Structure 1
Amino acid sequence: MDILVINSGSSSIKFKLFQMPEERLVAKGLIEHIGEAGSRFTDHYSGLKVILDKVDGVQAVGHRVVHGAEKFKKPVIVDTGVIRGIKKCCAIAPLHNPANLSGILACQRLLPGVKQVAVFDTAFHQSIPAHAYIYGLPYDYYQRQGIRKYGFHGTSHHYVALEASRILKKPLNKLKLITCHLGNGCSITAIDKGSSIDTSMGFTPLEGLVMGTRCGDIDPALVTYIMRKHKLDIKQMEAVLNKESGLKGVSGISNDMRRLEAKAKAGNKRAGLAIDIFI
């Protein structure tokens, strides 16, 4: 059985085609810089169309989906209800869930009748205890609106923990680990005996470390202060925090660490500062 695995990230698409149950890798590929200036891929759909036009014999598709809130705690077969749930979470994962959904909808068009499975990044972090996921806000916000820390990159953190166990030759249920996911989006997770007990990302993927285009942790009062000073509306402020900050915002150059390292070596101080903040 040939299974296509798709990871539609915030600025990239990765795919691999596996022959199962042998776990034999048949094909793989990567598209980067989606939606960035100079890229021929204006959105995720255009990239996925190229990929799916070239891959033959797909019998099932697995999708990484970033946000499943508390609704999705394990992988699910995609149907109209699952699509509605993913759409509902787009508001709290605006850089990712729309891209993940684009992959699902593209596959529906290009691979009609092929079963699809959604695997949620938030699912691994459902083991985080309440004292670690409840914010210091009125508890009613959690009860009525589900405002809490969810955490992301769960599939990555789970895999890294399994690999650490294998390499260290120690059972996962005997280990205490700190796992790191470092890319355009970044997070770290504390794992005790195979279960996530805390993580750096929160209600959305914006919280935590400085990232490619996201600010990470800042003083919450800065949001309203900047909005007042620069006369920004909510949509504009969200764009600043999610798309114009992080390495890109500090350096004024790019969210690509490769470019920043080259610029820093050439003497660009802001590129060097961005790298120092990240490290």
Structure 2
Amino acid sequence: MRHPRLDHALARVWVIALALTCACVHPRNFRSPRERLTTRSAYAETARVRLDVGLLEVDSQPFVVNLGVTVAALPSRLDLSINLAHGLAGIASLQSKFTLYDSRWYALGGRVGLTYMNPRTLWFLPKDLRRELGGVHLLSAPIELWNSFPLLPWFGFHLGVGYRATGVWGDYRGDELIVDASLAQRSLAFMPYLEVFIARRLALSFGGRLPVMTSVVEAADVRVEVAPELMVGVRSVEWVRRRFENTLRLELAAETRFGRNTHLRVAVHLWGFRPLLPIAATPELTLYWRF
């Protein structure tokens, strides 16, 4: 049987812990357009112009390196962004976020993007290689719908639903070999995120991408000339359903602000795509400015 004094002592510990936790939470306001975070939310960019420098990002658009410029066509309602790092390399990468409804307790918005690559435009590749691989194309198109709930001035919850289609297709024609192949992925996922202010200029977020359905298709048509005017080949197409835990991605991030315009975001991702890729932990570093 527990002693009453022990119960009182435990109660005091819980009260002290709760008081310390509340003391650490600075009274910032996620409902304020200037202070709320827009990375994983229903909110479009509030500033007129935003500049991003990012490394090792695993989002669908940056593809590892991001030199982004975002322009708010309608501040807090619609923004358009382009990745200059991709443009300089010869890759087309565009993205847009929009907010359909925004109130004190709830917001509804979304994001659409498009990335296209063809080796012919990759100027850093040898000319002969660009010509040989000119028939290969890559296309990525994410579509997301976001719900944001600023439950408290220092605590918010975001829930996204995203569909993503990525494909690589094309053909290669050699002297004695003809290859026409494609590799595509399509997925539907929920993306829950929690955000909390824990200091004057520091916010933490935790969430991830939880796939409901992930499918991969592999198609190949290979023909080899075994004799003059005689070709032998094989063709195969197969859709493969990937299990939930094999495509899971979790994220823990911290974001802070220096001065009025400079923001720093640091994140760690736990993700994988087994059996093609084992579970791995990767960092992310993003520095951006709002004007």
TM-score range, shorter chain: under 0.3
* TM-score where L is the length of structure 1: 0.24
Q: TM-score, structure 2 length as denominator?
A: 0.23
Largest Rg, 1 or 2: 2
Considering fraction of residues, name the structure with more helix.
1
Q: Which has the higher contact order (CA 8 A, sep 6+)?
A: 2
